Structure 1
Protein backbone atom coordinates (compact mmCIF):
# COMPACT_ATOMS: atom_id res chain seq x y z
CA UNK A 1 0.00 0.00 0.00
CA UNK A 2 1.35 3.41 -0.96
CA UNK A 3 1.87 6.29 1.45
CA UNK A 4 -1.01 8.13 -0.28
CA UNK A 5 -3.30 5.17 0.35
CA UNK A 6 -2.27 5.15 4.01
CA UNK A 7 -3.23 8.79 4.34
CA UNK A 8 -6.57 8.24 2.62
CA UNK A 9 -7.33 5.30 4.90
CA UNK A 10 -6.47 7.32 8.02
CA UNK A 11 -9.18 7.48 10.64
CA UNK A 12 -8.74 9.26 13.95
CA UNK A 13 -11.04 6.72 15.58
CA UNK A 14 -8.44 4.03 14.90
CA UNK A 15 -5.81 5.81 16.98
CA UNK A 16 -5.09 4.33 20.36
CA UNK A 17 -4.92 6.66 23.38
CA UNK A 18 -1.41 7.39 24.60
CA UNK A 19 0.12 8.96 27.69
CA UNK A 20 3.15 11.24 27.64
CA UNK A 21 5.56 10.98 30.56
CA UNK A 22 7.48 14.15 31.48
CA UNK A 23 10.15 14.42 34.21
CA UNK A 24 10.97 17.92 35.43
CA UNK A 25 14.25 19.26 36.86
CA UNK A 26 13.49 18.24 40.46
CA UNK A 27 12.56 14.67 39.67
CA UNK A 28 8.78 15.04 39.59
CA UNK A 29 7.02 12.94 36.95
CA UNK A 30 3.98 14.19 35.07
CA UNK A 31 1.74 11.97 32.97
CA UNK A 32 -0.26 13.84 30.35
CA UNK A 33 -3.11 12.30 28.35
CA UNK A 34 -5.75 13.72 26.03
CA UNK A 35 -9.36 13.18 27.12
CA UNK A 36 -12.38 12.51 24.91
CA UNK A 37 -13.33 16.19 24.82
CA UNK A 38 -9.92 17.14 23.42
CA UNK A 39 -8.49 18.65 26.60
CA UNK A 40 -5.31 17.41 28.26
CA UNK A 41 -5.35 15.90 31.74
CA UNK A 42 -2.19 15.83 33.88
CA UNK A 43 -1.40 13.52 36.78
CA UNK A 44 1.63 13.88 39.04
CA UNK A 45 3.78 11.04 40.28
CA UNK A 46 6.79 10.85 42.53
CA UNK A 47 9.97 9.60 40.89
CA UNK A 48 10.70 5.95 41.69
CA UNK A 49 7.31 5.55 43.38
CA UNK A 50 6.26 2.37 41.55
CA UNK A 51 3.61 4.29 39.57
CA UNK A 52 1.67 5.43 42.65
CA UNK A 53 0.25 8.87 41.98
CA UNK A 54 0.53 11.56 44.60
CA UNK A 55 -1.83 14.32 45.59
CA UNK A 56 -0.09 17.69 45.55
CA UNK A 57 -0.60 19.55 48.82
CA UNK A 58 -0.54 23.29 48.22
CA UNK A 59 -1.30 24.25 51.82
CA UNK A 60 1.34 26.41 53.55
CA UNK A 61 4.10 24.61 55.47
CA UNK A 62 5.41 27.54 57.48
CA UNK A 63 6.61 25.92 60.70
CA UNK A 64 10.25 25.82 61.74
CA UNK A 65 11.00 22.44 63.32
CA UNK A 66 13.63 22.37 66.07
CA UNK A 67 16.08 19.48 65.65
CA UNK A 68 18.93 20.07 68.09
CA UNK A 69 20.54 23.07 69.80
CA UNK A 70 20.43 25.96 67.36
CA UNK A 71 19.37 23.88 64.35
CA UNK A 72 15.98 24.04 62.62
CA UNK A 73 14.54 22.46 59.47
CA UNK A 74 11.69 23.63 57.25
CA UNK A 75 10.30 24.19 53.79
CA UNK A 76 10.48 27.20 51.47
CA UNK A 77 7.38 28.50 53.26
CA UNK A 78 9.20 28.48 56.59
CA UNK A 79 12.04 30.45 55.01
CA UNK A 80 9.71 33.41 54.36
CA UNK A 81 7.79 33.20 57.64
CA UNK A 82 9.40 36.27 59.18
CA UNK A 83 7.41 35.98 62.41
CA UNK A 84 8.58 32.41 63.01
CA UNK A 85 12.15 33.23 61.98
CA UNK A 86 12.25 35.99 64.56
CA UNK A 87 10.53 33.88 67.21
CA UNK A 88 13.15 31.13 66.76
CA UNK A 89 15.92 33.78 66.78
CA UNK A 90 17.27 32.64 63.42
CA UNK A 91 20.59 34.23 62.43
CA UNK A 92 21.66 31.95 59.55
CA UNK A 93 19.78 30.26 56.71
CA UNK A 94 21.10 27.41 54.57
CA UNK A 95 19.12 27.29 51.32
CA UNK A 96 19.50 24.03 49.38
CA UNK A 97 16.39 24.53 47.22
CA UNK A 98 16.17 25.04 43.47
CA UNK A 99 14.78 28.32 42.18
CA UNK A 100 14.11 29.84 45.62
CA UNK A 101 15.68 33.24 46.24
CA UNK A 102 16.82 34.40 49.66
CA UNK A 103 13.93 36.41 51.08
CA UNK A 104 15.75 38.53 53.67
CA UNK A 105 19.42 38.89 52.63
CA UNK A 106 19.90 42.01 54.75
CA UNK A 107 18.63 40.35 57.92
CA UNK A 108 20.15 36.85 57.88
CA UNK A 109 23.43 35.28 56.83
CA UNK A 110 22.73 32.93 53.91
CA UNK A 111 24.49 30.07 52.24
CA UNK A 112 23.03 28.80 48.96
CA UNK A 113 23.79 25.30 47.70
CA UNK A 114 21.41 24.48 44.85
CA UNK A 115 20.70 20.74 44.74
CA UNK A 116 18.37 18.63 42.62
CA UNK A 117 16.22 16.15 44.54
CA UNK A 118 17.11 13.13 42.41
CA UNK A 119 19.01 10.01 43.51
CA UNK A 120 21.81 10.71 41.03
CA UNK A 121 22.77 14.02 42.68
CA UNK A 122 26.13 13.81 44.45
CA UNK A 123 25.00 15.41 47.68
CA UNK A 124 27.88 13.94 49.67
CA UNK A 125 30.33 16.36 48.08
CA UNK A 126 28.69 19.30 49.91
CA UNK A 127 28.48 17.72 53.37
CA UNK A 128 31.71 19.23 54.68
CA UNK A 129 30.94 22.69 53.31
CA UNK A 130 27.40 22.66 54.70
CA UNK A 131 28.53 21.29 58.07
CA UNK A 132 31.07 24.08 58.44
CA UNK A 133 28.41 26.72 57.85
CA UNK A 134 25.95 25.12 60.27
CA UNK A 135 28.58 24.67 62.97
CA UNK A 136 29.78 28.24 62.51
CA UNK A 137 26.28 29.45 63.32
CA UNK A 138 25.92 27.18 66.35
CA UNK A 139 29.41 27.95 67.71
CA UNK A 140 28.66 31.68 67.55
CA UNK A 141 25.47 31.11 69.56
CA UNK A 142 23.30 31.63 66.51
CA UNK A 143 20.30 29.69 65.24
CA UNK A 144 20.14 28.27 61.73
CA UNK A 145 17.30 27.17 59.44
CA UNK A 146 18.10 24.54 56.80
CA UNK A 147 15.47 24.47 54.07
CA UNK A 148 14.83 23.21 50.55
CA UNK A 149 11.59 23.41 48.58
CA UNK A 150 9.45 20.95 50.53
CA UNK A 151 11.65 20.37 53.57
CA UNK A 152 11.50 16.62 53.04
CA UNK A 153 14.54 15.27 51.17
CA UNK A 154 17.39 17.69 50.48
CA UNK A 155 17.26 19.72 53.70
CA UNK A 156 16.69 16.53 55.69
CA UNK A 157 19.80 14.99 54.14
CA UNK A 158 21.88 18.04 55.00
CA UNK A 159 20.69 17.99 58.61
CA UNK A 160 21.41 14.26 58.84
CA UNK A 161 24.92 14.87 57.51
CA UNK A 162 25.43 17.48 60.24
CA UNK A 163 24.23 15.12 62.96
CA UNK A 164 26.51 12.38 61.62
CA UNK A 165 29.58 14.45 60.77
CA UNK A 166 29.62 17.05 63.55
CA UNK A 167 27.52 15.52 66.32
CA UNK A 168 29.03 12.06 65.72
CA UNK A 169 25.68 10.28 65.66
CA UNK A 170 25.02 6.93 64.02
CA UNK A 171 22.81 7.10 60.94
CA UNK A 172 19.84 5.37 62.59
CA UNK A 173 20.05 7.56 65.69
CA UNK A 174 20.28 10.72 63.59
CA UNK A 175 17.33 9.66 61.45
CA UNK A 176 15.16 8.94 64.50
CA UNK A 177 15.99 12.32 66.01
CA UNK A 178 15.16 14.18 62.81
CA UNK A 179 12.01 12.12 62.20
CA UNK A 180 10.80 13.08 65.68
CA UNK A 181 11.43 16.75 64.90
CA UNK A 182 9.74 16.66 61.47
CA UNK A 183 7.70 13.55 60.83
CA UNK A 184 7.40 13.85 57.03
CA UNK A 185 11.10 13.80 56.16
CA UNK A 186 11.96 11.33 53.40
CA UNK A 187 15.36 11.59 51.71
CA UNK A 188 15.41 9.90 48.32
CA UNK A 189 17.11 6.51 47.99
CA UNK A 190 20.31 7.93 46.49
CA UNK A 191 20.72 10.40 49.36
CA UNK A 192 20.13 7.68 51.95
CA UNK A 193 22.85 5.53 50.41
CA UNK A 194 25.30 8.43 50.41
CA UNK A 195 24.44 9.29 54.02
CA UNK A 196 25.08 5.71 55.12
CA UNK A 197 28.41 5.73 53.29
CA UNK A 198 29.25 9.02 54.99
CA UNK A 199 28.31 7.59 58.39
CA UNK A 200 30.57 4.57 57.80
CA UNK A 201 33.42 6.89 56.77
CA UNK A 202 32.96 9.01 59.91
CA UNK A 203 32.99 5.88 62.08
CA UNK A 204 36.27 4.74 60.54
CA UNK A 205 37.77 8.21 60.98
CA UNK A 206 36.75 8.39 64.62
CA UNK A 207 38.08 4.89 65.33
CA UNK A 208 41.42 5.70 63.71
CA UNK A 209 41.61 8.89 65.77
CA UNK A 210 41.12 6.93 68.97
CA UNK A 211 43.80 4.41 67.96
CA UNK A 212 46.26 7.20 67.15
CA UNK A 213 45.63 8.84 70.53
CA UNK A 214 46.19 5.57 72.35
CA UNK A 215 49.54 5.11 70.59
CA UNK A 216 50.70 8.59 71.62
CA UNK A 217 49.72 7.99 75.24
CA UNK A 218 51.55 4.66 75.23
CA UNK A 219 54.72 6.31 73.98
CA UNK A 220 54.57 8.85 76.79
CA UNK A 221 54.32 6.24 79.52
Structure 2
Protein backbone atom coordinates (compact mmCIF):
# COMPACT_ATOMS: atom_id res chain seq x y z
CA UNK A 1 0.00 0.00 0.00
CA UNK A 2 1.42 3.38 -0.99
CA UNK A 3 1.65 6.06 1.63
CA UNK A 4 0.03 9.45 1.08
CA UNK A 5 3.50 11.02 0.80
CA UNK A 6 4.46 8.62 -2.00
CA UNK A 7 1.20 9.30 -3.87
CA UNK A 8 1.84 13.04 -3.67
CA UNK A 9 5.35 12.59 -5.06
CA UNK A 10 4.13 10.55 -8.01
CA UNK A 11 1.18 12.84 -8.72
CA UNK A 12 1.20 14.42 -12.17
CA UNK A 13 -1.15 17.02 -13.61
CA UNK A 14 -1.00 15.10 -16.85
CA UNK A 15 -2.93 12.29 -15.22
CA UNK A 16 -5.92 14.55 -14.62
CA UNK A 17 -8.86 14.28 -17.02
CA UNK A 18 -9.64 17.39 -18.98
CA UNK A 19 -12.88 19.08 -17.98
CA UNK A 20 -15.02 19.90 -21.00
CA UNK A 21 -18.32 21.77 -21.18
CA UNK A 22 -20.61 21.88 -24.20
CA UNK A 23 -22.39 25.22 -24.58
CA UNK A 24 -25.14 26.16 -27.03
CA UNK A 25 -25.72 29.88 -27.55
CA UNK A 26 -29.08 31.51 -28.21
CA UNK A 27 -28.29 31.59 -31.93
CA UNK A 28 -27.65 27.86 -32.03
CA UNK A 29 -23.85 28.07 -32.13
CA UNK A 30 -22.21 25.17 -30.27
CA UNK A 31 -19.03 25.80 -28.27
CA UNK A 32 -16.67 23.46 -26.46
CA UNK A 33 -15.03 24.91 -23.35
CA UNK A 34 -11.95 23.05 -22.11
CA UNK A 35 -9.78 23.82 -19.08
CA UNK A 36 -6.10 23.17 -19.68
CA UNK A 37 -3.19 24.35 -17.52
CA UNK A 38 -5.50 26.66 -15.55
CA UNK A 39 -6.61 28.35 -18.77
CA UNK A 40 -9.98 28.18 -20.51
CA UNK A 41 -9.91 27.23 -24.16
CA UNK A 42 -13.03 27.78 -26.28
CA UNK A 43 -13.55 26.06 -29.62
CA UNK A 44 -16.50 26.31 -31.96
CA UNK A 45 -18.12 22.99 -32.77
CA UNK A 46 -19.88 22.10 -35.98
CA UNK A 47 -23.45 23.38 -35.84
CA UNK A 48 -26.31 20.92 -35.90
CA UNK A 49 -29.17 21.55 -38.27
CA UNK A 50 -32.10 23.07 -36.41
CA UNK A 51 -30.04 23.70 -33.26
CA UNK A 52 -31.38 26.22 -30.80
CA UNK A 53 -30.12 27.94 -27.68
CA UNK A 54 -32.39 26.18 -25.22
CA UNK A 55 -33.32 22.66 -24.21
CA UNK A 56 -36.15 21.51 -26.43
CA UNK A 57 -38.99 19.83 -24.58
CA UNK A 58 -40.82 17.29 -26.71
CA UNK A 59 -43.01 15.92 -23.92
CA UNK A 60 -46.76 16.42 -24.23
CA UNK A 61 -48.45 19.05 -22.07
CA UNK A 62 -51.94 17.72 -21.49
CA UNK A 63 -52.58 19.70 -18.32
CA UNK A 64 -55.87 21.58 -18.69
CA UNK A 65 -56.89 24.36 -16.34
CA UNK A 66 -60.59 24.81 -15.58
CA UNK A 67 -61.14 28.52 -15.14
CA UNK A 68 -64.92 28.26 -15.21
CA UNK A 69 -67.16 25.22 -15.85
CA UNK A 70 -67.48 26.37 -19.46
CA UNK A 71 -63.94 27.79 -19.93
CA UNK A 72 -60.81 25.63 -20.09
CA UNK A 73 -57.23 26.75 -20.76
CA UNK A 74 -54.50 24.59 -22.27
CA UNK A 75 -51.68 24.21 -24.78
CA UNK A 76 -51.98 22.97 -28.36
CA UNK A 77 -51.13 19.46 -27.15
CA UNK A 78 -54.41 19.15 -25.27
CA UNK A 79 -56.30 20.64 -28.22
CA UNK A 80 -54.89 17.87 -30.42
CA UNK A 81 -55.61 15.01 -28.02
CA UNK A 82 -59.04 13.60 -28.72
CA UNK A 83 -59.22 11.55 -25.51
CA UNK A 84 -58.57 14.65 -23.41
CA UNK A 85 -61.17 16.69 -25.28
CA UNK A 86 -63.83 14.02 -24.92
CA UNK A 87 -63.03 13.41 -21.27
CA UNK A 88 -63.56 17.12 -20.53
CA UNK A 89 -66.72 17.27 -22.68
CA UNK A 90 -65.29 20.03 -24.87
CA UNK A 91 -67.69 21.27 -27.56
CA UNK A 92 -65.94 24.46 -28.76
CA UNK A 93 -62.27 25.25 -29.33
CA UNK A 94 -60.84 28.78 -29.48
CA UNK A 95 -57.48 28.57 -31.25
CA UNK A 96 -55.40 31.73 -30.78
CA UNK A 97 -52.09 30.10 -31.71
CA UNK A 98 -50.07 30.98 -34.78
CA UNK A 99 -49.76 28.32 -37.45
CA UNK A 100 -51.53 25.55 -35.52
CA UNK A 101 -54.17 23.72 -37.55
CA UNK A 102 -57.45 22.54 -36.06
CA UNK A 103 -57.23 18.78 -35.66
CA UNK A 104 -60.89 17.80 -35.52
CA UNK A 105 -62.94 20.29 -37.60
CA UNK A 106 -65.83 17.84 -37.98
CA UNK A 107 -66.12 17.08 -34.26
CA UNK A 108 -65.88 20.51 -32.61
CA UNK A 109 -66.89 24.06 -33.32
CA UNK A 110 -63.77 26.13 -33.88
CA UNK A 111 -62.80 29.76 -33.96
CA UNK A 112 -59.26 30.49 -35.14
CA UNK A 113 -57.30 33.72 -34.73
CA UNK A 114 -53.64 33.70 -35.72
CA UNK A 115 -52.13 35.85 -32.97
CA UNK A 116 -48.40 36.45 -32.58
CA UNK A 117 -46.95 36.17 -29.09
CA UNK A 118 -45.13 39.49 -29.29
CA UNK A 119 -45.25 42.31 -26.71
CA UNK A 120 -46.32 44.77 -29.41
CA UNK A 121 -49.28 42.66 -30.56
CA UNK A 122 -52.52 44.51 -29.63
CA UNK A 123 -53.95 41.56 -27.74
CA UNK A 124 -56.90 43.51 -26.28
CA UNK A 125 -58.21 44.18 -29.79
CA UNK A 126 -59.07 40.46 -30.04
CA UNK A 127 -60.96 40.25 -26.74
CA UNK A 128 -64.38 41.24 -28.06
CA UNK A 129 -64.39 38.58 -30.78
CA UNK A 130 -63.04 35.90 -28.44
CA UNK A 131 -65.52 36.72 -25.69
CA UNK A 132 -68.43 36.53 -28.12
CA UNK A 133 -67.37 33.03 -29.15
CA UNK A 134 -67.17 31.94 -25.50
CA UNK A 135 -70.58 33.49 -24.85
CA UNK A 136 -72.09 31.56 -27.76
CA UNK A 137 -70.72 28.30 -26.42
CA UNK A 138 -72.02 29.05 -22.92
CA UNK A 139 -75.47 29.82 -24.31
CA UNK A 140 -75.50 26.32 -25.84
CA UNK A 141 -74.36 24.75 -22.55
CA UNK A 142 -71.05 24.02 -24.23
CA UNK A 143 -67.48 23.92 -22.95
CA UNK A 144 -64.76 26.01 -24.62
CA UNK A 145 -61.10 25.04 -24.67
CA UNK A 146 -58.95 28.14 -25.23
CA UNK A 147 -55.44 27.36 -26.44
CA UNK A 148 -52.41 28.90 -28.09
CA UNK A 149 -49.12 27.10 -28.64
CA UNK A 150 -47.90 26.65 -25.07
CA UNK A 151 -50.98 27.74 -23.13
CA UNK A 152 -48.92 30.35 -21.33
CA UNK A 153 -49.28 33.82 -22.86
CA UNK A 154 -51.86 34.42 -25.60
CA UNK A 155 -54.61 32.07 -24.47
CA UNK A 156 -54.10 33.14 -20.85
CA UNK A 157 -54.43 36.81 -21.82
CA UNK A 158 -57.64 36.07 -23.72
CA UNK A 159 -59.19 34.25 -20.76
CA UNK A 160 -58.14 37.01 -18.35
CA UNK A 161 -59.69 39.57 -20.70
CA UNK A 162 -62.88 37.50 -20.83
CA UNK A 163 -63.20 37.48 -17.04
CA UNK A 164 -62.58 41.22 -16.87
CA UNK A 165 -65.12 41.91 -19.61
CA UNK A 166 -67.91 39.50 -18.73
CA UNK A 167 -67.59 39.22 -14.97
CA UNK A 168 -66.22 42.67 -14.16
CA UNK A 169 -63.17 41.28 -12.37
CA UNK A 170 -60.13 43.45 -11.82
CA UNK A 171 -56.94 42.46 -13.57
CA UNK A 172 -55.40 41.20 -10.32
CA UNK A 173 -58.40 39.01 -9.50
CA UNK A 174 -58.72 37.65 -13.03
CA UNK A 175 -54.99 36.93 -13.27
CA UNK A 176 -54.98 35.15 -9.90
CA UNK A 177 -57.94 33.00 -10.90
CA UNK A 178 -56.39 31.97 -14.22
CA UNK A 179 -52.99 31.39 -12.62
CA UNK A 180 -54.57 29.10 -10.03
CA UNK A 181 -56.20 27.07 -12.79
CA UNK A 182 -52.95 26.69 -14.78
CA UNK A 183 -49.70 27.47 -13.00
CA UNK A 184 -47.71 27.86 -16.23
CA UNK A 185 -49.67 31.02 -17.14
CA UNK A 186 -47.41 34.00 -17.86
CA UNK A 187 -48.53 36.64 -20.40
CA UNK A 188 -45.60 38.36 -22.08
CA UNK A 189 -44.66 41.82 -20.72
CA UNK A 190 -46.58 43.67 -23.44
CA UNK A 191 -49.76 41.67 -22.84
CA UNK A 192 -49.35 42.14 -19.10
CA UNK A 193 -49.27 45.93 -19.44
CA UNK A 194 -52.19 45.94 -21.88
CA UNK A 195 -54.28 43.84 -19.49
CA UNK A 196 -53.52 46.13 -16.57
CA UNK A 197 -54.69 49.10 -18.65
CA UNK A 198 -57.68 47.25 -20.14
CA UNK A 199 -61.06 48.94 -19.56
CA UNK A 200 -63.79 46.76 -21.13
CA UNK A 201 -66.57 49.32 -20.78
CA UNK A 202 -64.55 52.00 -22.54
CA UNK A 203 -63.65 49.68 -25.41
CA UNK A 204 -67.29 48.62 -25.86
CA UNK A 205 -68.36 52.25 -25.86
CA UNK A 206 -65.74 53.12 -28.47
CA UNK A 207 -66.81 50.14 -30.59
CA UNK A 208 -70.47 51.18 -30.46
CA UNK A 209 -69.54 54.73 -31.46
CA UNK A 210 -67.50 53.47 -34.43
CA UNK A 211 -70.39 51.25 -35.57
CA UNK A 212 -72.81 54.21 -35.44
CA UNK A 213 -70.44 56.35 -37.47
CA UNK A 214 -70.15 53.64 -40.12
CA UNK A 215 -73.94 53.25 -40.32
CA UNK A 216 -74.39 56.98 -40.85
Normalised by the length of structure 1, the TM-score is: 0.70
Which of 34, 39, 46 is matched with 1:39 structurally? 46
* Partner residue in 1 for 2:178: 178
Q: Output aligned runs, 1:37-116, within 5 Å.
A: 38-40=45-47, 42-44=51-53, 54-116=54-116
**Aligned partners of 2:170, 2:27: CA distance in 1, in Å?**
39
**Aligned partners of 1:182, 1:95: CA distance in 2, in Å?**
17
Q: CA deviation at 1:192?
A: 0.8
Could you report, residue by residue, the CA deviation over 1:83-128 in whole angstroms, capped at 9, with x for unpaired residues?
1111111110000111110000001000001111110111111110
Q: Give the 3-state SS of the residue equivalent to 2:29 in structure 1.
A: strand
* Partner residue in 2 for 1:169: 169
Q: Which runs of 5+ in 2 are unaligned?
A: 1-24, 32-42, 205-216
Deviant stretches of 4+, over 6 Å:
203-206
RMSD: 2.2
* Partner residue in 2 for 1:157: 157
Normalised by the length of structure 2, the TM-score is: 0.72
Q: Do 2:64 and 2:182's aligned partners in 1 also have CA atoms closer than 8 Å?
A: no
Q: Give the 3-state SS of the residue equivalent to 1:178 in structure 2.
A: helix
Q: Which runs of 5+ in 1 are unaligned?
A: 1-20, 22-29, 45-53, 207-221
Cα distance change on mapping 1:37 and 1:103 into 2, 3 Å: same
**Aligned partners of 2:52, 2:129: CA distance in 1, in Å?**
37
Question: Of the two, which has the highest radius of gyration?
Answer: 2
